[in-house]
Structure 1
Amino acid sequence: MNVEMQIQVKAKFVPKYEKGYPLIMKESILNGQDLQDEGTIIRLVDERNHFIAKGYFGKQNKGYGWLLTRSEHESINTEFFVKKIRQAFQNRQAFFENPETTAFRFFNGEGDGIGGIIIDYYDGHYVINWYSKGIYTFKEHVINALQQVVKVKSIYEKKRFDTKGQYVEDDDFVLGEQPEFPLLVKENGVQFAVYLNDGAMVGVFLDQRDVRRTIRDQYAKGKNVLNMFSYTGAFSVFAALGGATKTTSVDLANRSLPKTEEQFRVNGIDPDKQNIVVMDVFHYFKYAIKKNLRFDMVILDPPSFAKSKKFTFSAAKDYQNLLKETIQITEDHGIIVASTNCSTFDMKKFKQFIDGAFRESNERYRIREQFSLPEDFKTISEFKEGNYLKVVFIQKG
C-alpha cells in the first residue's frame, strides 16, 4: 500500500495548482526533503494546511510527480485507475471501430488524468510506458484496471525511469499471448511492421499520423521527396504511396536501412527503387549542397536533441540554422515539412524560427497548413507543455 504524506506548497504556486496545473514542481514545495520513497501519495496543501489536491511522488525530468485528483477523500486504488482508463477508452471509441487504423495512443498521461504513464494500442496489444519509479509502484492497479476495461491480447512495458526519461533495459513482456514479430498494424490503410519487444522504440511514432496522411493525400504526387532523420522511413512510405517519383531517407542509425526496407516491403513497394542513406544527417546537408541535389519536398523532423561525432543538435537553439540548410536544397515552390517535438517552445516561437531562417536566406515563403497532436494524444489546456508537437507545411518562394 502506498504511504500518504502531506506536502506544503509555497504561496505563489498555490493559484497555479488550484487552476488545475498537474505537474508537482520541485521548486514549488516547502518540505520536499521529507519525500523519500517514490510512489508516496502526496496530499498537497497550502501554507495554512488547506487541501489543494492529491497526487504521487515520482521523479522524472519534468518534476517531482503528478496530481491525480482534487477530491480530498478519493483513494488512489484500482477503482481510480479503472475510472480513468474507462474514460480514455470511451474517448477513443472511434479509433477502436476504424479497421483502417489499428495503432494509436490509448492513454496519454496527464491529458487523460494520470501524468507519468502512457499506453499505446497495437491491434489488441498494449504497450505501457512508465516514466518514473513512482508511477511504476501502481503497476498492479494499472494492469488490473486495463484488463477490466478492454480485451487484452498482450501487455508490454517500457521503463523510462532515469531522470532524463531514458529507457531502462529489461524484459518488456508482461502478460498475455505474445504475437509473432513483426506485428503488422495499420494507419490510414498503410501497414507498419512493429516490434513491441525490441527496446524503447517499437518502429513508428504514432503522433505523426495526420501529417503522414496529409503528405500522402495532398502533397506527394509527382514529387522528389527527401526525408531527414527518417528512423524507419514512415514518412517515405506514405510519400511513395502518394505517388512520389522518388524518396530519399536519411538517418545516422545503421538499423534504419533494414528497418526502412522492411516498411517499404510490407506495403508492396520495392525498396531498391527508393534511396535509403545511412549517414550523419548534418553531413548529408553539406553533401547535397556540394552535389547540387534539390528536392521538391523535404521532411525535417529531428529529435529535440541529437548528437553526432562532431556536433550536438538542440532544437531550441539550432532548428533555425537547420532550416536554412534545408531551404538551400529545396526547389523553388517546393514544400518543407518542418516538425519538432521539443516542448520548451511553442508554435509561435517555432514560426519565428521559420521566419528567421527564410529572412536570413533571402527567400520568400508562405505557410500552407500546420498541425499539433492528433486527437488520441489528448492534452489539457492547464498543461500546455503536453501539446509538444508542432508541424508546419511551408512553401518556398
Structure 2
Amino acid sequence: MKKEIKLKIKQDYAKKIKEGFPLIEKEALTNAEILSEEGQILHLMDERGRFIGKGYYGEQNKGYGWVLTRHQDETIDQAFFEKKIGVGLQKRSSFFKDNSTTAFRIFNGEGDGVGGLTIDYYEAFYVVSWYSEGIFAFKNQILKALQQLVEYKGIYEKKRFNTGGKYIDDDDFVTGERGEFPMIVKENDVQFSVHLNEGPMTGVFLDQRDVRKKIRDQYAEGKTVLNTFSYTGAFSVFAALGGATKTTSVDLANRSYPKTVEQFSINGIDYEAHDIKVMDVFEYFKYAVKKQLTFDMVVLDPPSFARSKKHRFSAAKDYKDLLKQAIAITEDNGVIVASTNYSGYGMGKFKGFIEKAFKETGHRYKIEEQFTLPSDFATTKEYKPGDYLKVVFIKKL
C-alpha cells in the first residue's frame, strides 16, 4: 500500500474540492515541495487541517493530480478501481447490446471518478490510456480490476503522458491475444479500420460519433463536402454514405491518403470518385479561392494546435480566422460544421468566434444545431473543461 502524503490546500481551493471539483490545481497547494514521486497518494486537508479528500500526484495539464474520493476511510486499491470501472460499465450497458456500434468508451477519466485514465472498447479488445506517470503507477491494480470485470480478447495501452513531446511507443500490447490489424469495427453500421498498435491514435475519434451520424442522415445527400484536417477520412466516409455527390479530404500527414483510401474501400465506396489531398489545409484554402472552388458543406475539425512549415494554428487564438477562410468557399445556404476539442473555453466563447467571423466577412448565418460529447464520454458538471467537445452546424445565409 502506498504511503499517504499530507497536503494542505488553500481555503478557496479547498471549498471547490469539497463541492466536487476533481482537479488538484498547482496553485492550490501550500506545501507542494514535499511531492517527490508521481503516484503518491495525497491526503488533502484545508488550512485548518480538516480532511477534504484523497487523490494521487500526477502532473497533467494545469494540475498536480486528481481527487479520487472524499471519504477518509476509503482505500485506493484494486477493489477501489474495480468499483469505479464497474459503475462505468453499467452506465454503458446499452452500448454492448447495440450491434451497429462496436467501438465506444467505457471509462472517461474524471467523468467516471478517476482523472487521467480512459478505457475504450474495440470489438472485444480494450485500450487503456494513461495521461500521467501518476496514474500509470496504479497500472497493475487497474488492469487487474478491468480483467476481473470484462471478458476480452486482448488489452492494449497508450502512454499519453509527456516525455518531451514524444509518444512512448515501445509496445502497446498488454495481455490476452494480439489483434490482427487493421481490425474492423462498426459505428452506426459504418465500418472503420482501426490499428490499436500504431502510436497514440487508433484511426478514429470516437467522440465524434453523433456528429458523423447527423451528417450522414440529414446533411450530406446531394452535397459537395470539404473535410479539412481529415485524418483518416471518417467524416468523408459518412458523407459519401449519406449521398454526397463528392467529398474532398485534406490533411497534411502523408499517412492520411492510404488511411482514407482504406476507410472508403472497406465500406464499398469508390475512393477514386472522391478527392483525397495531402497538403496544408491553409494552403488548400488559398488554392480553392484561386480556383474558385466552393462547397455545400465544409467540415472544420482542427487539432487544438497544429504546425506546418508555413503556418501555426492555435484553437485558442486562430479559430475565428479559420472560420473566415471556410466562409469564403462555402456556398450560400451551405453548412459549416465547426468543431473544436480545445478545453480552454466553453461553447459560449466558441459561438462568439462564429459571430465575429461572419460579421467580419459581411455574411449572415443561422445555427442549425450543436453537439457536445456523446453519452459514453461521461463528464462531471463540476469540471467544465472535461466537456471539451464543441460542434456547431452553421448555415451560411
> Above 0.5 in TM-score?
yes
Matches of 2:202 and 2:124, distance apart in 1: 15
1:122 aligns with 2:129: no
Q: After the TM superposition, which of the residue ranges 255-264 and 148-157 deviates more from structure 2?
A: 148-157
Aligned-pair CA distance for 1:165:
7.6
Match of 2:87 in 1: 87
1-structure distance, mates of 2:151, 2:62: 32
Report the CA distance shift for 1:166/1:19 in structure 2 as closer, same or farther (over 3 A): farther
2:75 is aligned with 1:75 = yes
CA distance in 1 between counterparts of 2:316 and 2:283 reads 20
Q: Per the alignment, in what secondary structure is the counterpart of residue 24 of structure 1?
A: strand
CA offsets, 1:125-149, max 9 Å, x none? 0001101111011111111110111
> Over aligned residues, Cα RMSD in angstroms?
1.0
The residue that corresponds to 1:209 in the other structure is 209
Q: Structure 2 CA distance, aligned partners of 1:3 and 1:292?
A: 66
- Tell me, yes or no, if the aligned pair for 2:26 and 2:62 is still in contact at 8 Å: no
Matches within 5 A, 1:42-121: 42-121=42-121
- Whichever residue aligns with residue 331 of structure 2, its letter is E
TM-superposition CA deviations, 1:191-219 (whole Å, max 9, x none): 00000001111100000000000000000
Aligned ranges for residues 1-397 of structure 1 at < 5 Å?
A: 1-162=1-162, 167-397=167-397
| Structure 2, gaps ≥5 residues long | none
Q: Using the alignment, how far apart are the partners of 2:279 and 2:3 within structure 1?
A: 51
Contact 1:131-1:165 at 8 Å conserved across structures: no
Distance 2:188 2:17 in 1: 39
Are 1:59 and 1:163, in contact at CA under 8 Å, matched by a contact in 2? no
**Amino acid aligned to 1:264:** F
Q: Summarize the Cα distance change of 1:164–1:334 in structure 2 as closer, same or farther, 3 Å threshold.
A: farther
Deviates more, 1:7-16 or 1:244-253: 7-16
C-alpha deviations, 1:91-149, integer Å up to 9, x for none? 00000000000000110000000000101100110001101111011111111110111
Q: CA deviation at 1:166?
A: 5.7
Give the partner amino acid of 1:185.
V
**Structure 1, unaligned runs of 5 or more:** none
Residue identity over aligned pairs, in percent, reads 63
Q: What TM-score do you get using the length of structure 1 for normalisation? A: 0.99
Aligned pairs, how many?
397
Report the Cα distance in structure 2 between the residues aligned to 1:88 and 1:170, rounded to whole angstroms: 29
Counterpart CA distance in 2 for 1:132 and 1:150 is: 24
- Larger mean Cα displacement after TM superposition, 255-264 or 152-161: 152-161
8 Å Cα contact 1:364/1:396 also seen in 2: yes
Counterpart CA distance in 2 for 1:21 and 1:165 is: 28
